[in-house]
Structure formats: structure tokens, C-alpha cells
């Protein structure tokens, strides 16, 4: 990712909801904080949930796991639903926006958009593109870039400089064809984590988030948000 670099997006539901609103998504579904992973705190998250975003630190332990996971899947194979909307990340620090696109792109049957929505237009125009072609298309999409830049300035913490190395990364979890699917623009393909359902999706996604945390038990820099019907 030596080309474009964007300011990183904060893992803040208010920022994310404003971002999606500016791109023409109607607010019937909104991002909310997931304050903890025990059943009592998960029960506070409005249901249904159609996507979960995880912000986590990219550490040496994680990078080792990522390489091993890729090698294993290439050797053993996996069945990914042809309906999954997946794109690569070629823009530095754009993982927040790509996480949002993955969350929205895989839930268009649930979500509603304004007739002139730049995000809906992007999803329609890229629907049949390869993950790499989608990434190249995003590099040229001024509506999304400008909205990302303004949203990145809106968080509660001061935005880092555009050249600062950011060690945190966003990924999305969605339910496509009753499969719990992880979408990470740094990976070559989606990762299927088994079966799920609309009723159990949040809990199933959280179980996978817990494995990320268990890999780096000394780390505290994890944030989870859910796209809920409000």
C-alpha cells in the first residue's frame, strides 16, 4: 500500500453513522457500541444485528497467525457464498471505510438508501467486479474519499497525521447464506467461520472476536461495534 493514504477512521459509532448518513444510507440501522462480551452486556445490544466490526492491534503474533491461516485455507480450501461482497484494501489507513463498505455491501437487502446515495451507487457499479477491481474503483471515488476525510476529523481523539504508522486494523463480520464470514481487505479472500443465523449472529461473531483477543492477552486495544436495527 505505497499509493494513497487516508486519515484513519475512529472506532466510534457516532462517526460511523454520520459517515453512512452523508453517503446516503437511511438511519433505520445504526452502529452501536458493544461494551463487553458476556451475555448480559451482549443482551443490551439492539437486535437484530447484521454486521460486527472489530478494531484490533496488528501484532507479530497476529501476523504469524494470518500467514498460517492463509496457507491452511489454500491447502484445504473453503466454500464461500458467491453472494459475498468482498474487496481488497489498497489505500493506507482505509480499513475503517472498507469495513463499513463490507458491512453495508453484504446487507443491502436489509438497508435502505436515498435515491442519490453515493454509497449505493458505488455498490451497484462494483457488484460484479473482482476484489482487486473494487479496490481500484475506490481509489478513484471522490465522494467516498471526501466523506472519509471529513469523518476522520470528527472523532473524540485528535486524528493522527496521514503519515503516522497506525497499528490498528478494522475487519467486518457478516452473515451471508447462514455463514459467519470475516472480511479483511488485507487478506486474499473472505474467511468462513462456520454456520450462523440471524438470531445467533452477534454471539457467533463475538466468539470469533474472543479468539483475536486470546492471541494477544496483554493487549487492551480492541473495540467492537455492531450494526443494529434501531
Task: Give me the active site residues, please.
Answer: 95, 169
C-alpha–C-alpha distance, residues 197 and 215, integer Å:
26
DSSP bridge partners of 224: 54
Helix, strand and coil in the chain, % to nearest 5: 35, 20, 45
Phi/psi region, residue 93 (left: phi>0; alpha: psi -120 to 50; beta: rest), is left
DSSP state of 139: H
C-alpha–C-alpha distance, residues 194 and 204, integer Å:
9
Q: What is the secondary structure of 97-128 as a DSSP string?
A: HHHHHHHHHT-TTT--B-TT-HHHHHHHHHTT
Amino acid at each position: 500500500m505505497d499509493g494513497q493514504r487516508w486519515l484513519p477512521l475512529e472506532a466510534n459509532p457516532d462517526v460511523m453513522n454520520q459517515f453512512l448518513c452523508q453517503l446516503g444510507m437511511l438511519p433505520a440501522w445504526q452502529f452501536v457500541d458493544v461494551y463487553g462480551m458476556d451475555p448480559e452486556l451482549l443482551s443490551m445490544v439492539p437486535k437484530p444485528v447484521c454486521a460486527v466490526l472489530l478494531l484490533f492491534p496488528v501484532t507479530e503474533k497476529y501476523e504469524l497467525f494470518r500467514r498460517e491461516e492463509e496457507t491452511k485455507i489454500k491447502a484445504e480450501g473453503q466454500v464461500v457464498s458467491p453472494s459475498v461482497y468482498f474487496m481488497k484494501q489498497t489505500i493506507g489507513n482505509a480499513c475503517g471505510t472498507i469495513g463499513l463498505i463490507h458491512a453495508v455491501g453484504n446487507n443491502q437487502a436489509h438497508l435502505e438508501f436515498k435515491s442519490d446515495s453515493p454509497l449505493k451507487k458505488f455498490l451497484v457499479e462494483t457488484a460484479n467486479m473482482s476484489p482487486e477491481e473494487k479496490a481500484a474503483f475506490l481509489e478513484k471515488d471522490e465522494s467516498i474519499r471526501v466523506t472519509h476525510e471529513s469523518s476522520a476529523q470528527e472523532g473524540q481523539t485528535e486524528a493522527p497525521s496521514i503519515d503516522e504508522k497506525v497499528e490498528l486494523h478494522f475487519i467486518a463480520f457478516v452473515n451471508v447464506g447462514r455463514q459467519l464470514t470475516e472480511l479483511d481487505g488485507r487478506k486474499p479472500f473472505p474467511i468462513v467461520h462456520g454456520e450462523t443465523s440471524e438470531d445467533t449472529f452477534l454471539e457467533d461473531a463475538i466468539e470469533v472476536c474472543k479468539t483475536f483477543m486470546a492471541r494477544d492477552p496483554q493487549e487492551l486495544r480492541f473495540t467492537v461495534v455492531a450494526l443494529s436495527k434501531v
